[in-house]
Structure 1
Amino acid sequence: MKSDYRHMLKHTVQRGSGKSETGNTLLGKKKFESGPSPNPVTQNFQYDTKKIGSRNVVIVDGPGIFFDREFSEGKVKEELAKATALLAPGPNVFLLAVDLNRFDKSEIKAVDMCKKAFGDGMMKYLIVVFTRRDELDRNGKTIQDYVEEFNNYQKKFLASCNRRYFSINNVATDVEVKESQANDLLAMVLELEKQNERKFYQNEEFISVQKEIEDRIQEMLKISLNSLLMKIYLF
């Protein structure tokens, strides 16, 4: 459907990045399992939808396949195949959830692994979402103050996605505050989608999977039509 578009939420190298909580904030409900745990809370791909005007937003919450050492190479490939199929014909936006206390070289290295899988072009579709904004608020700082303190490699990374970033407080208890944050982030998402001319992000894998899906649909339609014709002409 042309009215549908998808966001893929990425994990961070450390557990507890606030990825699933960010998805819940966007949805306005607790759909994705989250919370403190010694093991990854998100084990499989999950998704849910939210209606925005006439648009159906599909938010996909994936396991940290690039960010957790417990994932073997085979498991990474398996989860990548699931992601590609689930996101076909391609996502409109990638959201990278980052705990603002843990934005280091290991985090950026993990993103480089994502780029190898999805292609460098994904950076044109990426927004960095810094979680735990409540800590900045408590210290009387803004996200702009935080970004100004970045070292060179952090600045270089942010420049690679054209300095698209957002800060969010997923533990806010005020409903209006949470709704306002969700609306502001979605506004940024819509603006990025507009800049990319509402095109899905695609690489060879997405194109291949989309063709396979379309071929299967055509085959199913052919079988359905043949069955219908048989019913019409049986007498």
Structure 2
Amino acid sequence: MFICTPDLGTPCDDISEFLSKNPHPDMCLFVVKKGFSTEQIWQQIHVLNEKTGKPTEEFKVVLPLGYEPKDFPFKSFTLEQLFNELDKVIELKQTTYTRSISSPQSEDQLDRIGKHTYTTVNVVLLGLAGTGKSASGNTILGRKHFVSKPSSNPVTTECQAEETEINDLHVRVIDTPDMFDDETEPSVRDKHVKRCKELYESELCVFVLVMHVSRFTDGERDILKKLENTFGTKVKEQTVILFTRGDDLEEADMTLEDFLHSCQPGLKEIIEKCNNRCVLFENRSSSSDQVEKLMNTVSTVLKKTAKID
């Protein structure tokens, strides 16, 4: 089904009305013509954000023929790329539908997550700005999707999601901005939390708390309390701690076990409350072993969650 909305200049709320009847479209396309102004398009996307409440990154700009994507502030696609994206959506829906009507899962699949069937497992990356959430998300995906670069300002400003298949398991990786900065306006923080919850909805979910292995800040000392206030008191049972910058330990000739044994008491307390579920990432490495370890830990969390349910 394609829904075509009126021009943005139309003095009516038809766009909001359409989306209220279809709150979860598979794709939101913003079609532009030749000679478009990047600044004007970006402003119009923000108008759509205000009218619909949908994050700016959900609007995919369809470029005119002859244009190629470049460093626009918005997501842009050629028609060929757009059809590839549509193919992915169709394939995902077919896979989900097949799983929902198929016979019981194989013993191996059931062993992954207890006796619960599934369509998607959500991996939600949380943590302070600069800890490497986006880079870790790209490592899990096996490709660069989330913007990750050195910066004195937060790079990720909206919740984003991308999906992949890992060991026959459909995984949705959700990257988030820093939702625990005390200087962030409560209304902005609430907006991020709401969007994050919309992305994982009622599906199986594991929270991955991303921390820099060589740095433990004052803002992280009470991060579990902030997590509980945001996602509920049982969040510790669904949390895995992911330490980034694994090369720092390698240079110090330390293993992860060495680090965990000698880390600060405040950090050790957080680790213990998360039942010592820790993995180490070096995001500049292409090794699949680190992702495998994370997913094994995620499976362990899902099994326990299924038993609790």
Name the TM-score, length of structure 1 as normaliser.
0.76
Query: Aligned residue for 2:292?
Result: 183
Unaligned runs of 5+ in 2: 1-95, 97-117
CA shift digits 1:172-210 (9 cap, x unpaired): 2xx3x2x1211121121112212222888xxxxxxxxxx
Query: Aligned residue for 1:32?
Result: 146
Letter in 1 for 2:278: Y
Query: Aligned residue for 2:137?
Result: 23
CA apart distance, 1:90? 4.8
Query: Aligned residue for 1:216?
Result: none
Contact 1:84 1:90 in 2 (8 A): no
Contact 2:224 2:236 in 1 (8 A): no
CA shift digits 1:73-127 (9 cap, x unpaired): 1111111111121111155200011001222342132332121111120000000
Structure 1 CA distance, aligned partners of 2:190 and 2:211? 23
Contact 1:193 1:199 in 2 (8 A): no
CA shift digits 1:5-54 (9 cap, x unpaired): 10100022xx3211111111110000110111111110111111111344
Secondary structure in 1 aligned to 2:234? helix
Stretch moving more, 108-117 or 28-37: 108-117
Name the TM-score, length of structure 2 as normaliser.
0.59
Query: Aligned residue for 2:175?
Result: 61
Structure 1 CA distance, aligned partners of 2:169 and 2:301? 15
What is the correspondence of 1:50-89 to structure 2 with a 5 Å cutoff?
Answer: 50-67=164-181, 69=183, 71-89=184-202
What is the correspondence of 1:164-203 to structure 2 with a 5 Å cutoff?
Answer: 164-172=277-285, 175=286, 177=287, 179-197=288-306
Given the superposition, is the C-alpha separation of residues 64 and 91 from structure 1 closer, same or farther in structure 2, using an over 3 Å criterion?
farther
Query: Aligned residue for 1:45?
Result: 159
- Greater helix share, structure number: 1
Q: Is residue 116 from structure 1 mapped to residue 219 from structure 2 by the alignment?
A: no
Secondary structure in 2 aligned to 1:120? coil
Structure 1 CA distance, aligned partners of 2:150 and 2:234? 33
Secondary structure in 2 aligned to 1:64? coil
Q: Is residue 7 from structure 1 mapped to residue 116 from structure 2 by the alignment?
A: no
Structure 1 CA distance, aligned partners of 2:244 and 2:135? 9
Higher relative contact order, chain-length normalized (CA < 8 Å, sep 6+): 1
Given the superposition, is the C-alpha separation of residues 29 and 21 from structure 1 closer, same or farther in structure 2, using an over 3 Å criterion?
same
Q: Is residue 142 from structure 1 mapped to residue 255 from structure 2 by the alignment?
A: yes
Structure 1 CA distance, aligned partners of 2:131 and 2:204? 21
Structure 1 CA distance, aligned partners of 2:264 and 2:293? 27
Structure 1 CA distance, aligned partners of 2:291 and 2:302? 16
Unaligned runs of 5+ in 1: 201-235
Structure 1 CA distance, aligned partners of 2:126 and 2:146? 13
